Amino acid sequence: MPRLSKIDVVSIEDLATAEIERIFTLADEYAAALEAGKPPAVASGLVMATLFYEPSTRTRLSFESAMHRLGGAVISSADMNASSAAKGESLADTARIVSGYADLIVLRHPHDGAARVAAEYASCPVLNAGDGSREHPTQTLCDLFTLRRKKGRLKGLTVALCGDLKFGRTVHSLIYALARFGANIVAVPTAGMDVPDYVLERLAAERNYNFSTVTMDELKSLAGGLDALYLTPSAPHQMALFTGDAPLEKIPTAEPPPALDAFYVTRLQKERLQSKDAPTSEYVRFDAHALKGHRVQEAVVMHPLPRTTELAYELDSDPRAVYFEQAAAGVPVRMALIAWIIERSGEPRSRTNAQNAAIVFKSAAPPRCASPNCVTRFEAGYLRPRFRLAPGVDRNLLALRCDYCDREMRIEFVGHASRRRYYRYDETLHGYVRQWIEEGTLAVFDSVKQAEEEGYEPYRRGPQREVMDAPAIARALDSMAEQVIADLPDLTGVSIVGVVSRGAILASRICDLIQQKAGVRPPSAAIDVYNPAETVMRLDSAESFVAEDRTIVIVDDVINSGWTVQRAMTALWQRGRPAAVKLAVLIDRGHRAVPIRPNYVGKNIPTARAERVQVRLAPPQGVAPGRARTQDCVVIYSMVESLKEGEDAG
Amino acid sequence: MTPRPETALDSVAIARAVKRIAHEIVERNPEAKALALIGIVRRGAYLADRIAVEIRGLSPREIAVGTLDISSYRDDGRGRPGDPRLIARNIPFSLDGKTVLLIDDVLYTGRTVRAALDALTNLGRADSIQLAVLVDRGERELPIRADYVGKNISAPPGHRVYVRLTEVDGADAVVIGNGNGK
């Protein structure tokens, strides 16, 4: 038996429509063969490994049953968290090692994008059996297969998706697939559990596909036979909803209201809620009454099972309840998928995404994926965040999609890593950004402050004027130290923490001044809000920084929006619970975007939004000056932000 | 001296304060920007509902309303009070690009607001976050300040400021109590 071709099924999008059709043809054959009791042993001599980092009885059993029925063998670790993962083995190492034992890996994992990582490191094919709240492609194949069997087609069907549409990974895969096959979707989320924006935006951008969302009550009135729901005939994927308030004569009568073909009901994913996203209203519940209206007469009811309370047991005897058939499809569909991969063995398969190159940032602190459940956050030891350009919704923000978990990020400031220039993004830069991605020179920033901290200069600046010279800065710092001493009588409980890098230099100077004036030197530290690994470092000793019960004075050079201070507080709270936090800034320039106010201010300088205040400081004593300045000063210049038409970004 | 609680705001004054805050919000935020009102459970959430009603009456604009439940937890394993933290949230919409108004009944140490800022920044990239409170009683422990304040009240040491709202307490009033009485 030759090695299987490296065909990974991580997302339903990994399968072309024709490939899905082929898998369904095979699944029909295997369903018939299972009925007849004699499926062909096409997998004889092959070994499948099932790695389940999360409990799932049905998915694992149906995969294992499928492999056995095809004459193959199965090795399994039912509970990975109790084995190597508990010893700290990385997902990449596990995938590499297990590919030496097996011809095929089936993976279920709690982190978004984990299957993509395993697929990249395993030398054999990897089939995703669910990764975090992302995708579950084989469940989607079973859903589509059942729907197609029951209705004879997928194109033009109207499917109502009900319940938890936020965390239900089966639902996200199903939405992409239904859109691809030309079915109509009506979303009926439980309050607060809507389809996430990134799914909607992706559908709109990539497939020009939209669907409407209705409430359970509106759906019930539909089921009860009220003429309340219409598909507008001109736009097959656009639903218009007319409630009782709309005058009846205005309702278009040219097209009869279509019937619903299927209800897809999901389970409330309690395990993904973590008690923070408590649904406010009651979860959906389907009973015999829900299927009474004439418009739902032909509608089948599907559910990925296991059910909790959303499906009444009285429905089970209704011929339209097809969820057990849907579950039974699990074995023939998974047999078909395995057989299809075997069928393709020996074939080279290259599916490269040439026009949308992956972006890996080379800087010391690359941007993190915004999703707290992204696999890149958990496997950070070897996995660098990786993104691709996403179709932008806002022309003044660059959209990047995490290549592992699909979460999108919106970027306001971009830079060129070798020219060390930064720009406020707008669509005129898009061509340059593509070029910089190809060169590997794209850098992205949360803010101007971060760009300048990393040594980037604005693309172009207007005339500058000096607003403070060295003596003025010294006087302002002196006054700040006086304010601290007057406000905080017990200086032994005080720690001074400067925001890297200029805030940290100022923190050391304020410590010197406090020592001169009060005879006590508070411990000092530097806080780096852009580097999650090394957040708070002591400046004056090798001991570790203590936040618990201390009165902490955060020092920064300029306060503008206040986001930096907010991030600094977040970092401090990860170290303990301070008794109090005070904020000292050399300059308050206004334009706050968060409800933060400094306690001690050296100087208030009103500025225009497009102006930039830059504090330039001589290096601390003992540090070789190099290219740095030898005189302190504060300058204001206006930023000239966007490129003019036809102008070169260089 | 007297254990009788002192009324700092009656129902008329509370209604006036809510109206004024809504006016200030509309004045400071141009119509083009989508607003998200996030009330801190419980009384901040009811105030957010009331302010949303007032704003809708003043200007036609997109307003989303959600809640954050931020509570002190008393068990950090060392038998000492811990800091407030996020218990639950109900924010069924995106905060990206929105102007977020965080709404609470009383601003005191600032610790609840800090936890709320943490929770909000974890949820998305808001354009800005502004803070509106019915009562600011001072004595901040963190560098937090409110953008909109119904009334500044300084309570004597050991005293507490109680905000009572019809939705929870049957009547609207802000009273100053001596810490153990109502």
Q: Do A444 and A517 reside in the same domain of the chain?
A: no
Q: Do A325 and A391 reside in the same domain of the chain?
A: no
Q: How confident is the model at residue B84 (pLDDT cuts 50, 70, 90)?
A: confident
More confident residue, A407 or A392: A407
CATH number at residue A593: 3.40.50.2020
CA atoms within 13 A on the CB side of A307: 19
Asked if the Cβ–Cβ distance from B141 to A581 is below 8 Å, we say: yes
Last residue of a domain, one of A313, A343, A373: A343
For an interface test with A, the pick among B25, B49, B96 (most A C-beta atoms closer than 10 Å) comes out as B96
Tell me which residue in B118, B128, B143 faces A593 most closely, judged by beta carbons: B128
- Residue in A closest to B87 by C-alpha: A276
CATH number at residue A291: 3.40.50.1370
Q: Do A302 and A162 reside in the same domain of the chain?
A: yes
Cα–Cα distances (Å) from A575 to A192, A198, A270, A609, B81, in that order, read 33, 33, 30, 34, 16
For an interface test with B, the pick among A410, A583, A596, A601 (most B C-beta atoms closer than 10 Å) comes out as A596
Range scoring the smallest mean pLDDT among A61-70, A279-288, A351-360, A621-630? A621-630
* Length of chain A as a residue count: 650
Range A611-616 average pLDDT: 86
Segments forming the whole domain that contains residue A90: 12-135+333-343
Range A639-644 average pLDDT: 56
Q: Do A252 and A398 reside in the same domain of the chain?
A: no
Q: How far apart are CA B10 and CA B14, in angstroms?
A: 6
Q: How close B162 gets to chain A, by Cα (Å)?
A: 23
Tokens of A490: 């017990």
Q: Do A522 and A400 reside in the same domain of the chain?
A: no
Class of domain B12-155: alpha beta
Q: How confident is the model at residue A222 (pLDDT cuts 50, 70, 90)?
A: low
Q: How close A583 gets to chain B, by Cα (Å)?
A: 6
Residue B176 near residue B153 (C-beta atoms within 8 A):
yes
Residue tagged active-site, from A50, A59, A266, A376: A59
Over residues A185-221, the pLDDT tens digits come to 888 887 777 888 778 877 877 777 777 777 766 666 6
Q: How close B84 gets to chain A, by Cα (Å)?
A: 10
For residue A357, the model assigns a pLDDT of 74
Q: Do A321 and A419 reside in the same domain of the chain?
A: no
Sequence-ordered list of residues with C-beta below 8 angstroms from that of B80, at least 6 positions apart, any chain: none
A150 is a domain residue = yes
Last residue of a domain, one of A417, A434, A459: A459
A649 is a domain residue = no
A350 is a domain residue = no
Q: Do A214 and A72 reside in the same domain of the chain?
A: no
Asked if the Cβ–Cβ distance from B146 to A595 is below 8 Å, we say: yes
Whether A172 is catalytic is no
- Residue A2 clears pLDDT 70, i.e. is over it: no
A349 is a domain residue = no
For chain B, what are the domain ranges? Answer: 12-155
Q: Which residues of A touch B141 (CB under 8 A)?
A: 579-581
For residue A171, the model assigns a pLDDT of 85
Asked if the Cβ–Cβ distance from B143 to A599 is below 8 Å, we say: yes
Whether A136 is catalytic is yes
Average model confidence (pLDDT) across chain A: 81
Cα–Cα distances (Å) from B71 to A357, A489, A575, B13, in that order, read 45, 31, 20, 28
Cα radius of gyration rounded to whole Å, chain B: 16
Q: Is A193 on the interface with B (CB under 8 A)?
A: yes
Q: Which residues of A touch B118 (CB under 8 A)?
A: 570, 573
Q: Do A33 and A177 reside in the same domain of the chain?
A: no
Q: ipTM of this model?
A: 0.93
Q: Which residues of B touch A582 (CB under 8 A)?
A: 143
Q: How far apart are CA A38 and CA A19, in angstroms?
A: 25
Secondary structure of A12-38 as H, E, C letters: HHHCCHHHHHHHHHHHHHHHHHHHHCC
Q: Which residues of A touch B127 (CB under 8 A)?
A: 593
- Residue in A closest to B111 by C-alpha: A580
Q: Do A59 and A208 reside in the same domain of the chain?
A: no
The single residue listed with the structure tokens 């020219």 is: A419
A648 is a domain residue = no
For residue A251, the model assigns a pLDDT of 30
More confident residue, B151 or B73: B151
For residue A490, the model assigns a pLDDT of 92
More confident residue, A532 or A107: A107
Whether A59 is catalytic is yes
What amino acid occupies position B33?
K
Residue tagged active-site, from A50, A60, A94, A108: A108
More confident residue, A243 or A171: A171
Q: Which residues of B touch A581 (CB under 8 A)?
A: 141-143
Q: Do A523 and A635 reside in the same domain of the chain?
A: yes
Range A129-139 average pLDDT: 88
- % pLDDT > 70, chain B: 90
Axis-axis angle for helices A169-180, A197-207 (nearest 10): 20
Q: Is A580 on the interface with B (CB under 8 A)?
A: yes
Over residues B87-119, the pLDDT tens digits come to 778 887 888 888 999 999 999 999 999 999 999
Query: Number of folded domains in chain A?
Result: 4
Cα–Cα distances (Å) from B177 to B7, B42, B107, B157, in that order, read 9, 20, 16, 11
Over residues A468-483, the pLDDT tens digits come to 999 999 999 999 999 9
Asked if the Cβ–Cβ distance from B141 to A579 is below 8 Å, we say: yes
Q: How confident is the model at residue A339 (pLDDT cuts 50, 70, 90)?
A: very high
Q: How close A469 gets to chain B, by Cα (Å)?
A: 28
- Residue A590 clears pLDDT 50, i.e. is over it: yes
Residue A559 near residue A565 (C-beta atoms within 8 A):
yes
Q: Do A505 and A624 reside in the same domain of the chain?
A: yes
Whether A109 is catalytic is no
A379 is a domain residue = yes
Q: Is A569 on the interface with B (CB under 8 A)?
A: yes
